[in-house]
């Protein structure tokens, strides 16, 4: 092989490596977005950083509706912390029982028929966000779509840490770290396309 051919091969090979590492992991049909006032931010990569002001914001997403007959119950799981180390728990292929924030017994108690009153910062627990009907829900129903899909939303306005509740406008946090996950195939395993690591920069 000539030196020119070798050079061309190496260039193509190096470009393919660069492109593959730069391409984001797309999420599975969550149609996830963050809305604050008239500002709407689409979340479409497995790790994303967004800028918000210190005011209430809402997270919108699509999820399968519960199937009581087949006993398939779908929910979003949200882990929140002020420490970026929370991201280290989540790697594709890990089962829930290997993740401190998702293992058995780590779902935080909340109202039966309303959203969580505040977002808890905890690397050993998660929020369990679902909608079955108006009597059994922890999210707002926005719309019903085809094929048993519903669009839901929940608000982030107050934080809870060590029994203290703080409104976002009065907090001194500059960054929040969220892991949002939907176990779409209900196999209790973290898989590509089922979760997003979200960094919220508060201005």
Q: Is residue 47 part of a domain?
A: yes
Residue 36 tokens read as 């604050």
pLDDT > 60? residue 3: no
Q: Name the residue range of residue 93's domain.
A: 25-202
Q: Is residue 125 part of a domain?
A: yes
Q: Is residue 45 part of a domain?
A: yes
Structural Rg of the chain based on CA atoms: 19
**Chain segment 93-112, per-residue pLDDT in tens:** 999 999 999 999 999 999 99
**Chain segment 132-163, per-residue pLDDT in tens:** 999 999 999 999 987 889 999 999 999 987 77
Q: What pLDDT, on the 0 to 100 scale, is given for residue 25? A: 53
Q: Is residue 12 part of a domain?
A: no
pTM value is 0.84
Coil, helix or strand for 152?
strand
Mean pLDDT, residues 78-107 taken together? 97
Cα–Cα distance measured from residue 47 to residue 85, given in angstroms and rounded to the nearest whole number = 14
Q: What pLDDT, on the 0 to 100 scale, is given for residue 30? A: 86
pLDDT > 70? residue 17: no
Report the Cα 150 to chain-centroid distance in Å. Answer: 17
Q: Domains in the chain: how many in total?
A: 1
Cα–Cα distance measured from residue 59 to residue 105, given in angstroms and rounded to the nearest whole number = 25
Q: What are phi and psi of 113, to 5 degrees?
A: -130, 25
Mean pLDDT, residues 25-41 taken together? 86
Average pLDDT of the chain, as a whole number? 87
The 8-class DSSP code of residue 84 comes to G
Cα–Cα distance measured from residue 52 to residue 35, given in angstroms and rounded to the nearest whole number = 9
Q: Is residue 118 part of a domain?
A: yes
Mean pLDDT, residues 65-89 taken together? 93
Q: What pLDDT, on the 0 to 100 scale, is given for residue 2? A: 53
Q: Is residue 183 part of a domain?
A: yes
- Locus of tokens 């020119």: 4
- Which candidate, 178, 150, 168, 174, places its Cα nearest to that of 36? 168
């Amino acid at each position: 092989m000539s030196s020119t051919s070798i050079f061309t091969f190496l260039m193509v090979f190096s470009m393919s490596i660069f492109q593959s590492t730069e391409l984001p992991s797309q999420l599975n049909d969550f149609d996830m977005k963050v809305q604050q006032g008239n500002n709407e931010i689409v979340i479409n990569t497995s790790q994303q950083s967004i800028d918000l002001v210190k005011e209430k914001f809402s997270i919108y997403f699509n999820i399968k509706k519960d199937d009581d007959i087949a006993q398939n119950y779908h929910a979003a799981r949200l882990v929140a912390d002020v420490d970026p180390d929370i991201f280290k728990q989540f790697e594709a292929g890990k089962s829930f029982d290997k993740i401190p924030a998702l293992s058995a017994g780590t779902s935080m108690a909340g109202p039966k028929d309303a959203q969580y009153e505040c977002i808890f910062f905890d690397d050993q627990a998660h929020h369990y966000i679902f909608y079955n009907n108006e009597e059994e829900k922890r999210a707002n129903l926005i719309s019903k779509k085809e094929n048993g899909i519903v669009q839901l939303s929940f608000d982030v306005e107050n934080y809870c840490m060590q029994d203290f509740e703080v409104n976002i406008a009065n907090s001194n946090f500059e960054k929040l770290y969220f892991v949002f996950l939907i176990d779409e195939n209900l196999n209790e395993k973290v898989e590509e396309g089922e979760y997003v690591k979200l960094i919220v920069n508060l201005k």
